[in-house]
Chain A
Amino acid sequence: MTAAAIEVQHLTKRFGSFTALDDLSLKIEGAKCVGFLGPNGAGKTTTLKMVTDMIFPTKGECFLNGVSVQSNRKVALSAAGVLIESPEIYPSLTPYEALEMVADVRGVPRAEWKGRIDEVLAEVKMSDWADKKVGRFSKGMKQRINIAAALVHDPQILILDEPATGLDPRGMAEVRTIVRGLKKRNRLIFMSSHILAEVTDVCDEVALIDHGKLRFYDTLPNILSRFSAGQSTIDAAFSRPLAPADVTAQITSLPGVEGVETLDPRRVRIKFSGGLATQENVLKALAGSGLGLVAFNETSSALEEIYLSQIERGD
């Protein structure tokens, strides 16, 4: 039996009397992306900082590949690439030099430095800036270098804390592309995020935390079916506004449909039971209905609804 890539046991962190993280246990293994989801202040960064020995647990312990982070950070962190809290890089260094430092300290053979650094800089689209001082970079550019720094030694485990922080929409999409590429190469990515779309897009599994407590940890499909109680949701769009009468007559009445919500005059959200069979029939009926169906999508809000129902109101 080999140890899990990331294991967290009864992890608790108190700041004074405030409990930022409460008895979190998680075991993550395999080649996939695990989203660590939760609202601001949920305890995501706190958790990841303990997993990388930046702060100390009040209780509990973290292991990377079975090596305790708390008692041997050097070996434990050796197989991981880490990006936490958007670090600053020494401003007088260039991206190339900063990555060289990482490669050097991490023991990447010198002959591989250049190839590796060029490769990761290309991956984060920063090749043109390789020899400029980091000090003048924008937040987003620095974050790209930070991502490159986490990748430079081609780690088996990636621990990323809100990697999209400071990035423009293009940058966010590029991060997702990088994560997908890593999954294909059998890497494990443990990535915190408060952005649902990002998590649904690239993650295979989700651990949701709120107020320092783990709500659930499961695969995305399991979560969706578990919390939607057999119900699925579809968003449909039409070329022209729908009359309320048409909605009732032609959509609500379809077999399996349990509710229709009008999102705007041209779009509705359809809740139905009966899984793919119902979905197929609804699509067929709408396409042939003369209502002018132009789009029929699985809703991205399924996880959002679960998310909202699972996290406590902060007010």
Chain B
Amino acid sequence: MAAPTVTPELDSAGAARRLGPTYAQVVKLSRYQIRDYLRSYRYILMFGLVTIIGSILTLAVGYYRPASLISDPLAFYGTLWGGGSVVVIVFAAVIFGGDAIAGEFQNKTGYFLMGLPLRREAIYAGKYLAALVASLTALAFYLVILVANGLYYFGGSAFPWQLGESVVLAIVYLLAVLGATFLFSSLFKTSTYATLVVAVLFLFGFSILQALVTDLAKIEPWFIISYADSIIGNAFLNPYPAHITVTTATRFMPSETVYTPTVAEGVVIMLGYFAVTTLAGLGLFEREEFT
């Protein structure tokens, strides 16, 4: 053979040295996963969805011109970003993460990856990183649509600092939703189930649970993520609502206690979801067999 030949890997020590650290392998792996995402129908689907959501909102605001929204950037972003970003995030998470692990089993691509000298954690993390980057691009696209509207209505004041804060909070929420998606993806080994469960839970399951907990148990629903994610919209409220508000009783309604998470509390809850789901998902994946 005339073509050049690499130094053969004659012993494991030398070969291992060439592999480099695990975190570098994670980044490498994620690059190829992202390349796969960019070309797959998923990307088109996700960007199609954001385009549709963005167009509907743009047209609705442009047509009805609700005074409360187009006179105040904070109210504008509070409604459209606060309400819309969480939906975009859940869609992105299921579209990019739903089959991230399950697909490796379903489509037999796992046998290709598992033949490589990668720790199982590196495979999980590399796929997570790729799904995160893909989701972030979708979220950024949504943000661009809103900011374009904002520039049209508010000109120079289209960038309140609260928008920056809220974007950061939305990214933290994305970490948590993706964490849960990956957990279900490795739990079910079937992307359809993972997608369904995450969509149902994050689009209404947790909200229903939260309502039940607050109404029936009358405690602060600090363990429910839909409670925490309200900080993404609340970031635009000025002044920020008090942690606990007790409404005064009226003739028709008894007094009620309303809980609002502080930003710090919300962040901690979301990071908690991220940590727990990721550890659980990793733990599962470590024990899964490619039979």
Contact = CB atoms under 8 A, between A and B. Distances in A.
A and B interact physically = yes
Contacts of A53: 114
B117 A73 contact: yes
Contacts of A15: 291
Interface string B269-291: 00000000000000000010111
Nearest to A159: B115
A78 B9 contact: yes
Given A78-B19, A116-B4, A122-B3, A150 B115 contact: yes
Q: Which of A92, A93, A100, A107 has the most chain B CB within a 10 Å cutoff? A: A107
Contacts of A98: 112
Interface string A84-122: 111111101100011011101111110010011011001
B67 to A, nearest CB: 47
Contact of B36 (A78, A90, A185): A90
Given A104-B28, A156-B10, A82 B5 contact: no
B16 A78 contact: yes
A299 B169 CA distance: 75
Interface of B: 1, 3-12, 15-16, 18-20, 22, 25, 28-29, 31-32, 35-36, 39-40, 107-112, 114-120, 122, 287, 289-291
A79 interface: yes
A70 B224 CA distance: 38
A52 B115 CA distance: 7
B111 A85 contact: yes
A65 B11 contact: yes
A49 interface: yes
Nearest to B289: A55
A154 B116 CA distance: 13
Nearest to A111: B4
B119 A74 contact: yes
Q: Which of B1, B7, B117 has the most chain A CB within a 10 Å cutoff? A: B117
Interface in A23-50: 49
Nearest to A85: B111
A146 interface: yes
Contacts of B32: 90, 93, 97, 100-101, 104
Given A105-B29, A106-B18, A112-B6, A79 B12 contact: yes
A206 interface: no
A49 B22 CA distance: 22
Q: Lowest 8 A-B CB distances belong to which pairs?
A: A82-B115, A87-B111, A107-B18, A78-B15, A87-B112, A92-B39, A119-B3, A115-B4
Contacts of B35: 92-93, 97
A149 B4 CA distance: 17
Given A65-B11, A78-B9, A79-B11, A52 B109 contact: no
A225 to B, nearest CB: 34
Contacts of B122: 74
A150 B114 CA distance: 12
B186 to A, nearest CB: 15
A106 B117 contact: yes
Interface string A58-69: 000000111100
A92 B7 CA distance: 30
24 contacts: A15-B291, A53-B114, A54-B114, A55-B289, A66-B12, A74-B19, A74-B22, A74-B118, A77-B115, A78-B15, A79-B9, A86-B108, A86-B111, A88-B112, A90-B36, A97-B32, A104-B28, A104-B32, A105-B117, A119-B4, A153-B6, A154-B7, A155-B9, A187-B8
Q: Which of B5, B15, B40 has the most chain A CB within a 10 Å cutoff? A: B15
A120 B54 CA distance: 47
